[in-house]
Amino acid sequence: MQCNRQQKNFWLITGFVILWNSGFIGAEFGLPYAGPFTLMFYRYLAATGLLAFYLYLTNQLYWIGWRYAWHQMLIGILAHGVWLSCVLIAIDHGVPAGIVALIVALQPMTTGALSGRVVHEPISWSRWLGLLIGFSGVAVPVVSRINFDDAYDVFAWLIPLGSVIAITAATLFQRKISLKKDYPNISGGLQLFYQSLATTLALILPAILAEKLSVEWDPVFVVSLIWLIAGVSLGAYTLMWILIDRLDATRVASLFYLGPPVTMLMAWVAFNDQVEVIDLIGLAIVLLGVLLTYLKPPASSNHGKPYGVY
């Protein structure tokens, strides 16, 4: 039974990493034809409609009440709206997708530092060490690429830090409410519906006022939009919340360390972005950090742990 659970977790993790990081590539394909807010608006408008249709057909669409709806809507605005806005704005300002993924990979450190206080999950020494090593692996390729003489470029590269803050807050909040014994069992599809609906509503004004919903409906844009809707908005986010329910916040957050190498590989295939030696060094350091993060802690350290699978 435990072996089957571990195998299932492995495939869930693999699917999440691939789908999640493909979003960086899909966004870079789509942005030449629409502004960041407009691209996101159409993406989440379609995703919300598809989710509503599916939930209606399966008799799962219902009002959960404001007491719980605002939880999911806040998570949606943070984990979808703010997170992706910062990512897309950075890419639109010329920061390569792989570099954006590198900066976003700082999230595990912030999640690891805050998860103990927020959701009362003790962090073992191996996880702290793994997070720090992973952070070092991320920093090596990033620092080598930043042009500190150009203030505009430095600012553009700092925009993804907003994504780090937003997705960290969403992850910890989702994890905290999932630990409440009296919290209702809301299906992943229904959670994603409320999150997507809130994101769509939040994007209406900036998409209209800043970009006038202007789109060049090129086939490349249509294909990238379809993939962002089906593969990322529906697929990747569903897998992420499933993993948060099965694992603890720190371990799920550590998966973001795999983002830079995976995204760089995808960018090399899609855009012929070259991978440098320093990228491979950073990748090796990141993998070491992830392995340490996933080490099984001593049995004594698991006493009193409210949730978590090892």
| pLDDT at residue 31 greater than cutoff 70 | yes
User: Residues 76, 43: contact at Cβ < 8 Å?
Assistant: no
Mean pLDDT: which of 9-13, 83-87, 107-111, 149-153 is highest? Answer: 83-87
Model pLDDT for residues 270-309, shown as the tens digit of each residue:
888 777 788 788 878 877 877 776 665 544 433 333 322 2
Using CA atoms, how far apart are residues 264 and 270, in angstroms rounded to an integer? 10
Question: Phi, psi (5° rounding) for residue 172?
Answer: -70, -40
The runs of H, that is alpha helices, within 31-93 are: 36-57, 66-76, 83-92
232-242 pLDDT tens trace: 888 887 787 78
Average pLDDT over residues 115-141: 75
Q: By three-state DSSP, how is residue 215 classified?
A: strand
Alpha carbon distances (Å) from 177 to 20, 171, 253: 23, 10, 17
Crossing angle for the helix pair 161-178 and 66-76, to the nearest 10 degrees: 150
Residues 9-18: pLDDT tens digits? 888 888 998 9
What is the model's pLDDT at position 71?
93
Query: So what's the pLDDT on residue 180?
Result: 77
Residues above pLDDT 70, as percent of the chain: 89
Q: What average pLDDT does this structure show over 16-29?
A: 91
Round to whole Å and give the CA distance between 186 and 209: 35
The continuous run of DSSP H or E covering 304 comes out as none
Closest C-alpha to 243, from 224, 230, 258: 258
- Average pLDDT in the 165-180 region? 84
167 close to 83: Cβ distance less than 8 angstroms: yes
Per the CB < 8 A criterion, the answer to whether 214 and 34 are in contact is yes
| Mean pLDDT, the chain, whole residue set | 83
Residue 67 CA to residue 90 CA, distance in Å, equals 35
d(Cα 143, Cα 179) in Å, to the nearest integer? 38
Q: Would you say 169 and 297 are in contact if contact means Cβ atoms under 8 Å apart?
A: no
Q: Which two tokens mark 190?
A: 């229904």
The amino acid present at 115, given as its one-letter code, is S
b/e 151-167 (16+ beta carbons within 10 angstroms → b): eebeebbebbbbbbbbb
Alpha helices of the chain — where are they, by DSSP H? 2-30, 36-57, 66-76, 83-92, 97-104, 107-119, 125-145, 151-158, 161-178, 188-211, 219-227, 237-246, 249-254, 259-271, 277-293
Q: What is the pLDDT of residues 58-84, one digit of tens each?
A: 999 999 999 899 999 999 999 899 999
pLDDT at 35 over 70: yes
Q: Which of 70-74, 92-96, 123-127, 281-285 has the highest mean pLDDT?
A: 70-74
Compute φ and ψ for 215, nearest 5 degrees: -140, 140
31: helix, strand or coil: helix
Q: Please give the residue that has the higher pLDDT: either 204 or 3.
A: 204
| DSSP conformational letter for 60 | -
Give 178-214 pLDDT, tens digit per residue: 777 778 888 878 988 999 999 999 999 999 999 999 9
Q: What is the pLDDT of residue 204?
A: 96
Cα diameter, the chain: 59
φ and ψ of 183, to 5 deg: -75, 130
Where are the domains positioned within the chain?
Answer: 2-299
